[in-house]
Each structure stands twice: as structure tokens, then as C-alpha cells.
């Protein structure tokens, strides 16, 4: 009978574990319905009301975007044309979209195919429209002229996340060209926060701090930094060895350069 009793105890423990998991799921769903969803709706209604006023007032908001690798900048683009869309009536996400528009197209020239392809990929990635004309000389690539439409599409996606019980905000092309991801606890969606968030959207002085959705623990950051530093020093040593007699670099100089390299990696 002892063996049977052991099995009964194991079954009881398993049942208790399953019931505990179910209780946790129920509590999580209850928190989502009672806290996350109301905070999400509060934000949706506030943003919707906000853009009605912005589209009517059309405030003079300007922003400058910088292109990478000294490719210039989109200077003083005007922010306007706000809209809110909900993909599903009872869904858990909505979108805020608006534009920053300049007066003249941006003209860029690239003189090799690699730079041409890199710029194309960058513009496509950031939803920028453009035309490009390749010029040939003696049947070989000579250069390409890019004409970039002076229009940046900005998007905020707000999601009531049932898995994390937070409000996720995905931001595209707002402060700079690119994507950023944030998460907020529902209790942070207060009237004060929403007013500060409106100032943030209007690029005014504000007190909004959006916490990043994914944060790499410091111990992993330090380990990655150490590995990169070791890799760079090893590659530097290989380079010194490869040039051998062409460059005179003694052990003392190598040690100094390693220290300099380590300093810049800190």
C-alpha cells in the first residue's frame, strides 16, 4: 500500500501545481481586464481627442533628421496631418500616425555601387520614398543620383499586452529615423502622464520617461564589452604581425596601443 500512497501523493502534488498555474493565469487575466485594458482605453481616448485639436490648430512644429555617414539632413521638416486608427473594434492595439514634411527634395550622389546599395537599403528600411538614376561611363557604373521625397512618416503603435500586462509603445521615425520599443505599467497612465506625453509629441519640454522594453542586464553588458575588447586586441595583434618589417612596433608600443584601445572601449 505504501507504493500506492506514494503515487497518490505525487498525483495530489501535480494537481495542486496545475491548480496554482490556473489561479495565476486567472489572476493575470483579471489584472489585464481590470487594469491594463482601462489604461489602454484611457490612452486611446486621450490621443484621439488630442489629434482633433492638433489638426485644427496646426501648430508650427519643426524637426530635423540626420542621415547617417554624412549624407546630410532633413532640415526643419514641419510636423502635421495626425490620424488615429484602430485595426479591430475590440482589439488591443491602435496606431497614431503623422508626418514631417520638408519643402524641397533631398539630392544625394553616390559614386560606387556599394554605397548606392547601402543607401537604398537605409531608405527602404525607414519608409522613405526616393528615385535614383544611375549614370554610366564607357558601359561601367559611374555614379547614381538619389532624389529623396521630403516626407517622413511617423508611427506610434500602442498595444495592451496580455502576456506582460503592460502597455507597449512602438515608435517609428519620431526623434530620429528608426524604431524604438517601450513598455509602461498600466498604473503609470495617469492624467499627468498623458499631458506630459502630449508635450512629448509636440516636441516641447516634458517630463516623460519611456522605459525601454528590453533591457540587457549589466553583467551581460560587461561580458559583451570584454569579449569585444579581447577580439579587437587580438585582431590588432594580427595586424601588427602581418605588417612585420614594414612598421617598427616593439612590445612596449604594442602595450601602449592596447591600453589606448582598451580606453576607447570603456
Q: What is the mean pLDDT of the chain?
A: 84
pLDDT over 80 (residue 227): no
Distance CA 113, CA 141 (A): 8
Q: What is the mean pLDDT of residues 249-262?
A: 52
Give kind and range of the element (H or E) at residue 165: none
**Higher-confidence residue: 262 or 21?**
21
Q: What is the pLDDT of residue 65?
A: 95
Could you tell me if 91 and 176 lie in one domain? Answer: yes
pLDDT over 80 (residue 203): yes
pLDDT over 60 (residue 246): no
Closest CA to 79 of 108, 95, 55: 55
pLDDT over 70 (residue 14): yes
Max Cα-Cα span within the chain:
95
Strands 61-66 and 73-86: antiparallel
**Residues in a beta bridge with 109:** 145
Distance CA 100, CA 81 (A): 9
pTM of this prediction? 0.73
- State which residues form the domain around 226: 218-265
Q: What is the pLDDT of residue 208?
A: 93
Could you tell me if 222 and 187 lie in one domain? Answer: no
Could you tell me if 197 and 223 lie in one domain? Answer: no
Burial of 31 (0-12, 13-18, 19+ CB in 10 A): middle
* Confidence band of 63 (pLDDT split at 50, 70, 90): very high
Q: What is the pLDDT of residue 15?
A: 76
Listed in sequence order, the DSSP H helices in the chain are 2-31, 37-57, 113-125, 191-201, 218-243, 251-265
Q: Residue 114: inside a domain, yes or no?
A: no
Q: Residue 169: inside a domain, yes or no?
A: yes
Q: What is the mean pLDDT of residues 7-24?
A: 74
Could you tell me if 223 and 173 lie in one domain? Answer: no
Amino acid at each position: 500500500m505504501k507504493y500506492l500512497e506514494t503515487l497518490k501523493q505525487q498525483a495530489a502534488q501535480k494537481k495542486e501545481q496545475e491548480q496554482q498555474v490556473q489561479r495565476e493565469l486567472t489572476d493575470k487575466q483579471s489584472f489585464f481586464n481590470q487594469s491594463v485594458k482601462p489604461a489602454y482605453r484611457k490612452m486611446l481616448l486621450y490621443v484621439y481627442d488630442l489629434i482633433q485639436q492638433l489638426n485644427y490648430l496646426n501648430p508650427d512644429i519643426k524637426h530635423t533628421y540626420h542621415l547617417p555617414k554624412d549624407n546630410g539632413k532633413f532640415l526643419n521638416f514641419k510636423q502635421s496631418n495626425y490620424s488615429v486608427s484602430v485595426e479591430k473594434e475590440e482589439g488591443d492595439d491602435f496606431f497614431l500616425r503623422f508626418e514631417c514634411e520638408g519643402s524641397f527634395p533631398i539630392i544625394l550622389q553616390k559614386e560606387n555601387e556599394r554605397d548606392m546599395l547601402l543607401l537604398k537599403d537605409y531608405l527602404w528600411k525607414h519608409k522613405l520614398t526616393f528615385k535614383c538614376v544611375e549614370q554610366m561611363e564607357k558601359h561601367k557604373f559611374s555614379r547614381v543620383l538619389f532624389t529623396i521625397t521630403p516626407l517622413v512618416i511617423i508611427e506610434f503603435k500602442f498595444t495592451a499586452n496580455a502576456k506582460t500586462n503592460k502597455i507597449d509603445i512602438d515608435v517609428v521615425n519620431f526623434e530620429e529615423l528608426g524604431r524604438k520599443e517601450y513598455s509602461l505599467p498600466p498604473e503609470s497612465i495617469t492624467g499627468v502622464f498623458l499631458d506630459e506625453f502630449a508635450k512629448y509629441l509636440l516636441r516641447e519640454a516634458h517630463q516623460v520617461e519611456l522605459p525601454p522594453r528590453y533591457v540587457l542586464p549589466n553583467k551581460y553588458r560587461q561580458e559583451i564589452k570584454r569579449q569585444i575588447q579581447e577580439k579587437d586586441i587580438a585582431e590588432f595583434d594580427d595586424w601588427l604581425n602581418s605588417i612585420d618589417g614594414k612598421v617598427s612596433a616593439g612590445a612596449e608600443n604594442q602595450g601602449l596601443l592596447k591600453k589606448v584601445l582598451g580606453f576607447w572601449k570603456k
